[in-house]
Amino acid sequence: MEKLDLFKTKLNEVADISAAMALLGWDQQTYMPRGGAQDRGDIFSTMAGLLHEKVTSPEAIALLEEMKELAKSMDPDSDDARLIKVTAKAMDKQLKLPKRYVEEFAMATTVAQTEWEHAKHENNFALYQPHLEKVVELRREYASYFQPYEHVYDPLLDDFEPGLKTAEVIAIFDELRPRQVELIKAITAAKQVDDSFLKLEYDPDVQWEFGKEVVTAMGYDFNRGRIDQVEHPFTTGFGIDDVRITTHVYPKMVTSALFSTIHEGGHALYEQGIDHKYRRTPLATGASMALHESQSRMWENLVGRSLGFWKFFYPKLQAKFPTQLGNVSMEQFYKAVNKVSPSFIRTEADEATYNLHIMLRLELEIALMEGTLAVKDLPEAWNTRMKDYLGVVPPNDTKGVLQDVHWSSGMIGYFPTYALGNLVSVQLWEVIQRQIPDLDSQIANGKFDGLLGWLRENVHKTGAKFEPQEMVQKITGSKINPQPYLRYLTNKYSSIYGL
């Protein structure tokens, strides 16, 4: 067992270096001055190179081979066997990449992120174009190291959704698209919901305090986390006991910061809920991004946009904003936060149109990776699809192709996980409702420990020990399936819009 202990020690060291890099990433997006991008890029590049050297050294490779042998004599579902399996998969990927690639990718994406933010601020895609071209070129090179594959997008998707294939995602989306488009048409033809009161001026400091109250009630532990303001909200962690969230407060969009705080809080609850026995190992993270999004989207939508949630929280919000909400009833407010309206910004999209934003991005990503779409043609391709899918064309690139951070940080292959997370959230929810029959009344009383306890026990605590499809199958009895989500959307919006 000596060798197994040595292996775990090495994994602890790798986890520590990765956590240090994540901390630098957090700082980059919260407090780093823009002029620091090149310096930060150098640090990232050096650290990524060191990490790559460490995990691909002859000693590390020999140790891993011994571990793979040892695992054959273990129970395949034991923690140790799974730890070896997950590590071996990640390392086999690293071994395929030249060190030069890893360093170049770290540098290119650090610079591209800063340039993206600048270009978005200036509404000038041309400033960003050469940086995105570099990132796309590097991602295509990345895929080339994993040949043969069924699809050039498969190796990218696998980094976020282990085991899932591009063809499976396309099949799921093909099942979703016509039903969602049909639902949106029916809603558009119905009597519209008034949400004008959400766009009044709301004091940012009071919004900020309210968001903190809500995530505290959800069970987010501020003793093991903190919240800061950024351009594009995200969650990151440097261990199970230091998981940080971020948000962006808009004075004239009162629900934006609130729902993004709840969303990131959902991610953070997942990370804070992982069993401490996996500390400083590759298992101390979520099973996949779709599983992660199933948690964030569940808290944001199934909880945060439910009638019960607002029965409890609306009087509190109303008391904070008496001028804006004094004459607005809870039912009016509930309808307003669920208003369906095809719009430009994905993160502000309602549940009925959200997945269409994702389908658009998936198609563009696949075209970029296949080489059938050039980066310079992206803004036009974006706008054409917006018109086709949502019937609206963004007035500028800031509200269009420049809105998301993902591509600048090299995260091509990530977007589908948002839509898959939506589907999984409802699959889980149906099971939770059966197992906690009074869930709705618990939520309406501001009690979230029943729900959080269930999630801790069934989803959070095992971290990345199991693959996502395996977990969804085990908990719900089927793999990722769009039908529960479609049922949920139809029921919810039929009642709100009287369809």
User: Measured from the CB atom, is 288 or 324 closer to Zn ion?
Assistant: 288
What minimum distance in Å lies between the beta carbon of 403 and Zn ion?
15
DSSP 303: I
**Sheet containing 243-247, strands listed edge to edge, beginning at the edge strand earlier in sequence:** 227-229, 243-247, 235-237
Segments in 219-288 forming alpha helices (H): 254-272
466 is written with which tokens?
């199991």
306 is written with which tokens?
């439910």
Q: How far is CA 92 from CA 47, 98, 412, 498, in A?
A: 20, 12, 20, 54
How do beta strands 243-247 and 227-229 pair? Answer: parallel
Cα 118 from Cα 127, distance rounded (Å): 8
User: Measured from the CB atom, is 249 or 317 closer to Zn ion?
Assistant: 249
Give the range of 130-138, 289-297, 358-366, 367-375 binding Zn ion by CB under 5 A.
289-297
Residues 6 or more apart whose Cβ sits within 8 Å of residue 5: none
Residues 6 or more apart whose Cβ sits within 8 Å of residue 368: 136, 375, 378, 412
What minimum distance in Å lies between the beta carbon of 289 and Zn ion?
8
Q: Which helix (H) or strand (E) holds 235?
A: strand 235-237
Q: Check binding of 408 to Zn ion (CB under 5 A).
A: no
Task: Name the residue number minimizing CB distance to Zn ion.
Answer: 296
Give the range of 197-205, 293-301, 451-459, 479-487 binding Zn ion by CB under 5 A.
293-301
Give the range of 169-177, 223-231, 272-280, 295-303 binding Zn ion by CB under 5 A.
295-303
User: Measured from the CB atom, is 83 or 405 closer to Zn ion?
Assistant: 405
Check: CB of residue 198 under 8 Å from CB of residue 336.
Answer: yes
User: Measured from the CB atom, is 180 or 296 closer to Zn ion?
Assistant: 296
What minimum distance in Å lies between the beta carbon of 234 and Zn ion?
8
**Annotated active-site residue in 103, 115, 264, 351:** 264
Give the range of 9-17, 178-186, 292-300, 406-414 binding Zn ion by CB under 5 A.
292-300
381 is written with which tokens?
């391709």
What minimum distance in Å lies between the beta carbon of 305 and Zn ion?
15
Give the range of 52-60, 271-279, 288-296, 407-415 binding Zn ion by CB under 5 A.
288-296
How many of the other CB atoms lie within 10 Å of CB of 36?
14
**Contacts (CB under 5 A) with Zn ion, residues 123-142:** none
What minimum distance in Å lies between the beta carbon of 337 and Zn ion?
18
Is 264 annotated as catalytic? yes
Q: Check binding of 409 to Zn ion (CB under 5 A).
A: no
Tabulate helix, strand, coil % of the chain (nearest 5): 70, 0, 30
Rg of the chain in Å (alpha carbons): 23
User: Measured from the CB atom, is 37 or 257 closer to Zn ion?
Assistant: 257
Q: Check binding of 296 to Zn ion (CB under 5 A).
A: yes
Give the range of 127-135, 156-164, 239-247, 290-298 binding Zn ion by CB under 5 A.
290-298
Check: CB of residue 443 under 8 Å from CB of residue 312.
Answer: yes
Cα 108 from Cα 91, distance rounded (Å): 22
**Contacts (CB under 5 A) with Zn ion, residues 78-97:** none
User: Measured from the CB atom, is 166 or 296 closer to Zn ion?
Assistant: 296
Residue whose tokens read 């658009």: 360
User: Measured from the CB atom, is 260 or 338 closer to Zn ion?
Assistant: 260
Cα 470 from Cα 357, distance rounded (Å): 27
Q: Which has the closest alpha carbon to 246: 20, 50, 25?
A: 25
What minimum distance in Å lies between the beta carbon of 417 and Zn ion?
9
User: Measured from the CB atom, is 45 or 296 closer to Zn ion?
Assistant: 296
Question: Which residues are marked as active site?
Answer: 264
Q: What residues make contact with Zn ion under the rule CB under 5 A?
A: 296
